[in-house]
Amino acid sequence: MVQPLDILTETPSQTAGPYVHIGCIPSFAGLPGVYPQDLGLSPIAKEANGQIITITGAVIDGTGWALRDAMIESWQPDAAGRFAGHPEADPAVSGFCRFAADKDSGLFTLRTVKPGAVAHRDGGMQAPHISLWIVARGINIGLSTRIYFEDEDNSNDPLLARIEQRPRVETLIAKRTGEGQYRFDIRLQGEGETVFLDL
Amino acid sequence: MTDRPDLGPLIPRQRPMHPVPYDPEYKTSVPRSPKWPLLSMESTPSEETGPRFGHALIGPLDNNLILNFAKDGSPAIGERILMHGRVLDENARPVPHTLLEIWQANAGGRYRHVKDNYLAPLDPNFGGCGRTLTDENGCYQFLTIRPGAYPWPNRANDWRPMHIHISVFGHSFGQRLITQMYFEGDPLIERCPIAATIKARSQLDRLVAPLDMARARPLDHLAYKFDIVLRGRRQSMFENKLEGM
Ligand SMILES: [Fe+2]
């Protein structure tokens, strides 16, 4: 025998199921009035500094079908790369947003401020990105990924550099479709499967 | 950002302690599970920071599902229960002031959701969602009713055991977790393909809340205890500390 480790094991995940909206965004789910408003309606207040952008996309399953019941959370820093809580962070940027696929089209929209680059622990910089966490019926543990931007310099990003199959890097890069407009699809499985993260 | 003394990276997730992403017995997981391995890397500030929510967010009835949707002032129908527990991290330290959200079916097994058209009736006084923040010791509690089991389209005759869905934030976006609480003694747990996506039996047991008579209130409600462990951060005096973290 050896000494026991003073460490606990993480509680296991379970799927968020089809009714995650009731718990997380009840007004969206048709239960107005339980809370004054849904949590994470917007990651920014009106006066946020920086470029306001809109990212549109869908969460697509292995058959090519856009999920109608996915819920996504995003987390990001302000335009200068500072997360909420940092003493100099932009007070108009909470950085957190919750949004769901439209029940008819499957499309989601994230309106936010373009994030700044963030330092990495080893001293280098990470290219500007938004972290995503995706849950839905049939997803047994929430999926993490990131949105990078095609009009930023992604060449020295330490995470993108670790993707061995270079064509897969493209799955993490939002495509510019207009001034301040981007497209970012999340493919759960199959051709063009998104790179999901374990950080 | 954090009120923790340790500023190390998140302890890597032990994936075998979690459900498998792909399980043909849970049919919807088949087209929705990635086939490629995850890209593993040490956490960065993007995962180590996370949203914080203040006590101003929480209304006085937010953790009381018996009363928070009571349209005509009548309490929700069902067996009254207290759900309580602690949120800890892997280093066994409490996670204070973190947001928990729960959602559940009513006593008949029906959700108040447009897509749920099960035969069981809606309870006009039950919405089915609640939220609270843990206190400084990581403790939380909800007053609710025991949810009913319900059938769902999967294999020909699958039923969900009684369960409450729980969402927890922690202090880092990389700690984010959604899980489900089951009830001690429910024979449907053994038959549930969603519960069975967790292959480590000892891990499934951790989702089964024991009856806790010490917290039951005579002539009022029963109690069930449900503790939650979130990822911890590596503790070392040798970590490079990032400015502003
Ligand atoms: Fe459920």
Q: Report CB contact under 8 Å: B243, A34.
A: no
**Domain spanning B15-38+53-230: which superfamily?**
Aromatic compound dioxygenase (2.60.130.10)
Give residue limits of the domains in chain B.
15-38+53-230
- B118 catalytically annotated: no
CB environment A114-129: b (16+ within 10 A), e (fewer): bbbbbbbbeeeebbbb
CATH number for A20-187 (one of 3.30.470.10, 3.40.50.300, 3.60.21.10, 2.60.130.10): it is 2.60.130.10
The residue among A6, A8, A9, A10 with the most chain B CBs within 10 A of its CB, best to mutate, is A10
- Measured from the Cβ of residue A63, the count of other Cβ atoms closer than 10 Å reads 11
For residue A160, the chain B residue with the least C-alpha distance is B39
pLDDT tens per residue, range B9-30: 999 999 999 999 999 999 999 9
The residue among B38, B39, B98 with the most chain A CBs within 10 A of its CB, best to mutate, is B39
pLDDT of residue A32: 85
- B160 catalytically annotated: yes
- B55 catalytically annotated: no
Report CA(B162)–ligand 1 centroid distance (Å). 8
Report CA(A155)–ligand 1 centroid distance (Å). 43
Give residue limits of the domains in chain A.
20-187
pLDDT tens per residue, range B84-109: 999 999 999 999 999 999 999 999 99
For chain B, strand residue ranges (E) read 39-40, 80-89, 99-103, 129-133, 139-145, 150-152, 158-160, 163-168, 177-183, 208-209, 222-225, 228-230
Structure tokens of B143?
A: 């007053």
pLDDT tens per residue, range A30-54: 888 899 999 999 999 999 999 999 9
pLDDT tens per residue, range B127-170: 999 999 999 999 999 999 999 999 999 999 999 999 999 999 99
Q: Report CB contact under 8 Å: A15, B197.
A: yes
